[in-house]
Amino acid sequence: MCAAPSCATPSSAFDLAGRRTIHELEGGSDKHLAEYTNPRSDRYTTMVDRIGQRLSLTSLRYQELPDLVESIGLPKERICTYCWDGCDGPCRAPKGDGDKKSSGKKDKE
């Protein structure tokens, strides 16, 4: 089961190619997850290259989160982006983080 409470699939985080590859590269540690979500980081590039090799692809690219949100046409706060940034529903960046990634925690009303 996906760790997001509202998600019914996949049955395991390791069903996701990215999470499986991060696990292989980091030896099971989640210490550098944020770097793997940044398309401009070396870790992200390594992950995508490894997935492409495993699938025997000559090229592989992932859509970036802001582009995905724009294509859906809803505010990000109304979309579960847990697989991308750990946010399941309404999320906001921690105070002082400016435009950095969301905290992965729901807003409290």
Instruction: Please name which of 58, 98, 62 lies closest in space to residue 83, comparing C-alpha atoms.
Output: 62
Please give the residue range of the domain that contains residue 21: 13-62
Residue 5 lies in a domain: no
Residue 3 resides in a domain: no
Q: Cα–Cα distance between 36 and 84 in angstroms, integer?
A: 10
72 with 88, same domain: the answer is yes
- Asked if 58 and 82 sit in the same domain, the reply is no
- Express each pLDDT in 84-101 by its tens digit: 777 766 665 443 333 444
Asked whether the whole model's pTM tops 0.75, one would answer: no
**Are 83 and 94 in the same domain?**
yes
How many domains does the structure of the chain reveal? 2
pLDDT digits (tens, 9 = 90+) for 5-64: 556 555 555 578 888 899 899 988 878 888 988 899 999 999 999 999 999 999 999 888
Residues 39 and 68 in one domain: no
Q: Do 101 and 73 belong to one domain?
A: yes
